[in-house]
Amino acid sequence: MYKKIVLNNGLKIVLADMPHMESISIGVWIAAGGRYEREDQAGISHFLEHMVFKGTKNRSGQQIKESIEGIGGALNAFTGEEFTCYLAKVLSKDATVAIDTLTDMALNPKLEAKDFLKERFVILEEIKMYVDMPNQYVHELLVELLWPDHPLGRPLAGTEKTVSSLHQKDLAVYRSAMYNPKNIVIAIAGKLPSHNLIKGIEKIFRHVKTGPKKGFVPVRLQQKKPMTNFHSRNTEQTHIALGFHGYSRFSSDRYTLGLLNIILGGNMSSRLFQEVREELGLAYEISSSARCFYDTGALVVSAGIDTRKISKAIKVIMGVLKRMKHRKVGKEEFRRAKEFYKGQLLMLFEDTMSHMLWAGEKSAYGDKTLRAKDVVRHIDEVTIDDVQRVSRDVFKNNKLSLASVGPIKKKIEEEVKKRLSDL
């Protein structure tokens, strides 16, 4: 189903043929994200992603949008901790147009001074917006606790200080270093056109200067006790994010952690949703999520809670975590979690964009487990004992951090800290 090609200059291409579809989704993945940035240039990957849409040597900003939207397609981009991706979804017959536009954006941005100054203002407003959103800001506070003094612990958009100190030439230098063929994966999923896309991509990159693949600062965990950050703010709710150090995406336990996450808070039939929301009415929104990076990861529980009930809610959440450690999951609950995991995975492949994101991310990481059936096999191999073992490994005091945004009083802060020490 997948065809992987590596060009002489190091550029990687992955193709997922879906002949029954009419669309095709294309992503240009660059190994440039938050964890590759120095402290003084935090937010530069995200800034560059914004600037690319302002125009290239061949297209104005308006022409970039019109080239995709004018043929009925959709254009977007995102910046993460470890990658930046430029993506488009178009009809199969327009694949060449999309590839030409996306590669032009990545390889030939103008980065003009007038656009730089305007976009810096826009990004500073974006940073303020996230700070004003307690359900978003609490996660910025949490990653700072999980990975202190490390690029993974900084906000992806940067701070007002770092973004204000960046210069136009900084973006050009950074792009030149990071956006080289050895750092790029082009992922294509959908109805592949009859003409040879590979030859077209080879022609585009024929004269692009290559360079070394960039490294990043590895994570070294030194946490010895629960870490907390209670950010006082006059909000209607208190938003919490409770995080535990997890596993890298190359760990054999990542699939077990995925199942643990589903059982804990990954859907509406999960333990946290049922107990905290449905049975006790302590929160409208509560869920958990698992994230895996090259060399680390995290399991995060997040919720919006009535401030008057925060201590009780934390007590209930900690109780659910403790039961995960000390009582084995029932066979029926375990079966449902596996079916949910596999079902959500397989449904990804019904859409060309979701399929491209899957194949692109996997290929960009160098993950050899591309086929869905291989992932399903890994999920099926997980046992009930594995879930309890991973629960005991992850839910520890020296792996726990809690951030909150809301009007919590000092007395309640002390109560919450006591609850956290009881794992």
Tens digit of pLDDT for each residue in 151-164?
Answer: 999 999 999 999 99
How many secondary structure helices (H) and strands (E) does the chain include?
Answer: 16, 11
Residues of the chain with CATH 3.30.830.10: 2-205, 227-420
Category of 146 on φ-ψ map: left (φ > 0), alpha (ψ -120 to 50) or beta = alpha
**Nearest C-alpha neighbor of 142 from the set 399, 412, 407, 415:** 399
- How far is it, in rounded angstroms, from Cα 180 to Cα 214? 10
Q: Which residue in this structure is represented by tokens 């794992």?
A: 423
Category of 269 on φ-ψ map: left (φ > 0), alpha (ψ -120 to 50) or beta = alpha
Phi and psi of 381, rounded to 5°? -75, -15
Q: Which residue in this structure is represented by tokens 């190359």?
A: 250
Q: How far is CA 377 from CA 227, 338, 371, in A?
A: 37, 11, 10
Query: Are 293 and 82 in contact, with CB atoms under 8 Å apart?
Result: yes
Confidence at residue 1, expressed as pLDDT on a 0 to 100 scale: 74
Catalytic residue among 22, 39, 49, 125: 49
Confidence at residue 211, expressed as pLDDT on a 0 to 100 scale: 84
Report which secondary-structure segment, H or E, holds 139. helix 134-146
**Gap between the terminal Cα atoms of the chain:** 46
Nearest 10 degrees: Cα torsion 351, 353, 355, 356: 160
Q: Does domain 2-205 match CATH 3.30.830.10?
A: yes
* Report field, pTM of the whole predicted structure over 0.75: yes
350 is catalytic: no
Q: Which residue in this structure is represented by tokens 């959103």?
A: 133
Confidence at residue 422, expressed as pLDDT on a 0 to 100 scale: 80
Which residues, in sequence order, are CB contacts of 196 under 8 Å at separation 6+? none
pLDDT of the chain, 423 residues: tens digit per residue: 789 999 999 999 999 999 999 999 999 999 999 999 999 999 999 999 999 999 999 999 999 999 999 999 999 999 999 999 999 999 999 999 999 999 999 999 999 999 999 999 999 999 999 999 999 999 999 999 999 999 999 999 999 999 999 999 999 999 999 999 999 999 999 999 988 899 999 999 998 988 888 889 999 998 999 999 999 999 999 999 999 999 999 999 999 999 999 999 999 999 999 999 999 999 999 999 999 999 999 999 999 999 999 999 999 999 999 999 999 999 999 999 999 999 999 998 899 999 999 999 999 999 887 788 999 999 999 999 999 999 999 999 999 999 999 999 999 999 999 999 888
Confidence at residue 368, expressed as pLDDT on a 0 to 100 scale: 80
Query: Are 122 and 69 in contact, with CB atoms under 8 Å apart?
Result: no
* CATH superfamily membership of 227-420: Metalloenzyme, LuxS/M16 peptidase-like (3.30.830.10)
Confidence at residue 49, expressed as pLDDT on a 0 to 100 scale: 98
Predicted confidence (pLDDT) per residue in 29-52, tens digit: 999 999 999 999 999 999 999 999
Confidence at residue 423, expressed as pLDDT on a 0 to 100 scale: 84
Q: What string of DSSP letters covers 34-70? A: GGGS-GGGTTHHHHHHHHHTTBBSS-BHHHHHHHHHT
